Amino acid sequence: MPITESQVLETLKGVIDPDLHRDIVTLGFVKDVEIEGGRVSLKVQLTTPACPVKDLLHQQCLDLLNAMEGVTEAVVEMTAQVRQRDTKQDDLIPGVKHCIAIASGKGGVGKSTCSVNLAIALAQTGARVGLMDADVYGPSIPLMMGAQDEKPYTLGNKIIPIQRYGIHMMSLGFLLEEGQAVLWRGPMVAGTVRQLLADVEWGDLDYLLVDLPPGTGDAPMSLAQLAPISGVVIVTTPHHIAANIAGKSVQLFRRLNAPIMGVIENMAGFACPKCGEVTQIFAGTTGEELATQLKVPYLGSVPLDPTVSEAGDLGVPSIVSAPERAQSAAFREIAGKLAQQASILSMTRKDLIKPGDVATLPKFKPAE
Contact 78, 61 (CB under 8 A): no
Report the distance separating Cα 23 and Cα 304, nearest Å.
Answer: 39
Given this model, what pLDDT does residue 354 score? 46
In this prediction the pTM is 0.86
Confidence bin at 132 (pLDDT 50/70/90): very high
DSSP, residue by residue, 224-252: HHHS-EEEEEEEE-S-HHHHHHHHHHHHH
Give Cα 38 distance to the centre of its chain.
41
pLDDT at 174: 85
Confirm if 129 and 205 have CB atoms less than 8 A apart. Answer: yes
For residue 235, the Cα-to-chain-centroid distance in whole angstroms is 12
Please give the DSSP secondary-structure letter assigned to residue 84: P
Q: Which of 100, 121, 48 is nearest to 333 (CA)?
A: 121
How many of the other CB atoms lie within 10 Å of CB of 284? Answer: 16
pLDDT at position 16: 95
Tens-digit pLDDT profile for residues 161-214? 999 999 999 998 887 666 555 545 556 677 788 888 889 999 999 999 999 888
81-97 pLDDT, tens digit per residue, is 998 777 776 788 989 99
Element containing residue 211 per DSSP (H, E): strand 205-211
Question: Does residue 180 or residue 153 have the better pLDDT?
Answer: 153
Q: How far is CA 212 from the centre of its chain?
A: 14
Full set of structural domains in the chain with CATH: 5-80 (3.30.300.130), 96-357 (3.40.50.300)
Greatest mean pLDDT among 61-65, 140-144, 219-223, 279-283 lies in 61-65
Whether 290 and 243 have beta carbons less than 8 Å apart is answered as yes
Q: Where are the alpha helices (DSSP H) in 184-325?
A: 186-198, 218-226, 240-255, 287-294, 306-314, 318-321
Residue 92 to residues 77, 187, 196, Cα–Cα distance (Å):
35, 18, 10
Mean pLDDT estimate for the chain: 85
